[in-house]
A and B are shown apart, each in its own frame.
Chain A
């Protein structure tokens, strides 16, 4: 079996969750790597969008900024931020990938601050486009390390909406129907969301990880799929593409 690190595993699992012929709004880093890998494996007709205006580029290398010239290299369109966001608002963006400092059991994400608003203990960059993408794209995914501090219901600030307070809450708040968190991919497991309660639910555990490892690294009570799966490790083909074509300089996969 091929040797791999946990970042490579997370990127492969994220790539496999993408349907061919769909659209994904991505940022820099692991999400971009996952989208690039998906294009070379399960989803050759995936179209990548960047919030600053890049549409369908042939990415020559990993972009440094979601607005740098790589994001519209040999692209089909170099448009504007409002045009991208309006496509999302019209329901034409299938996936987005977000990051954050905290996430709760409904998939609400904090990337704004720790502490209180006027005098925060720690100030993070804030929403940027994250709140818009979590509100407007059909399916929100997250690639993140999992630990008790990060996976907590004592979330300091809801920057971007998950299912808010549970079933029906997004619609009641005015958010587009049928949108919301889809998969949370961590170094330990893959989680989805329970249809009835909209709470985070473990669907698959990675090789070498136990149920207890997942519980110990989560600050809230998780739901469990009746038939818990074991994540399939990366194939040699996926690893070759990831290492030789997607991230040859190991910017992302070297971070594990």
Chain B
């Protein structure tokens, strides 16, 4: 089950703060509790390659707090999310920072019970996900309100091994009132800050350009919040476009965005971000993303769509195949490189 306790707690100590937000915290921000978990994490550089099916089954459990790397419909770990739906994980909490397409998948699969909400039902210029909208309007999903930067800085606080960070946004608004943030006066300047609790997800899933078998990863293009998220998460699943040899990592160590000791599983999933955009590899499949939005308009059409694209697919290869396979992927590759403009 998802957590039902409220993690706002300071024990017997007299702590000076103003409780600004009235919503619940879904994960414990305590830094010592996190250290206990990280102390047990293996430091051994061993082969961590596996399958998507095995990783999801072993590392993601009902009630877990899950976070996704990437941004919106860009470099998001679609293959793992489809598998979460296929394995019918339930009562997950989700970090709704920017991952619009991932949230769309998990809500359609009825996997989500609670959500830290920064950007949740929209698909940017493409429109609104009706399935997400219905779930958020009906109260089916419990929410606590945040902003994109607040969630980025919550990951950062966790990555730093802290329990909170002061920030200068959210202040004065209903976004703050419907969050679980607090207000605190700066002990040096007396100025007022919003303080946000560290976010240590149970599991993060990040799709990268390259990884070796140990989980040393390289990411190209924008990093979004993934550098901090990888460090904040108690468990980390990596899918990679390509597996490379360890010598490839050692040749350019400054390109390592995620070192192996953060990683629990590595799976090579070519086109693993499809139908999202993978920088320098392939553009987003706009037609397929529109089909998603269309299918969501009715229950029958959605079930049929999920059946075709998720439930009846054994793995990501099958999903790529039912959507045009290599020919389609090559079109998206051309689009990414502007080669489709003749």
Contacts and interface: CB of A to CB of B under 8 A. Distances in A.
Given A67-B98, A67-B222, A69-B277, 9 more contacts: A53-B221, A64-B126, A68-B74, A80-B222, A117-B145, A127-B148, A132-B149, A159-B175, A174-B171
Interface string B140-158: 0000011111101100100
Interface string B112-133: 0000011111101110100001
A66 interface: yes
B224 A52 contact: yes
A256 interface: no
Interface stretch (A1-9, A71-79, A219-227): A71-79
Interface stretch (A81-89, A187-195, A204-212): A81-89
Contact of B168 (A54, A118, A129, A135): A135
B222 A158 contact: no
Given A67-B224, A122-B137, A127-B148, A174 B194 contact: yes
Contacts of B224: 52-53, 67, 80-81
Contacts of B146: 127
Contacts of A72: 221-222, 279
Contacts of A161: 171-173
A125 to B, nearest CB: 3
Size class of the A contact interface (CB-based, 8 Å): 35 or more
Interface stretch (B8-16, B51-59, B198-206, B280-288): B280-288
Contact of B173 (A80, A122, A160): A160
Interface in A202-240: none
B148 A132 contact: yes
Contact of B147 (A64, A118, A132): A132
B91 interface: no
A159 B336 contact: no
Given A65-B277, A121-B137, A60 B338 contact: yes
B178 interface: yes
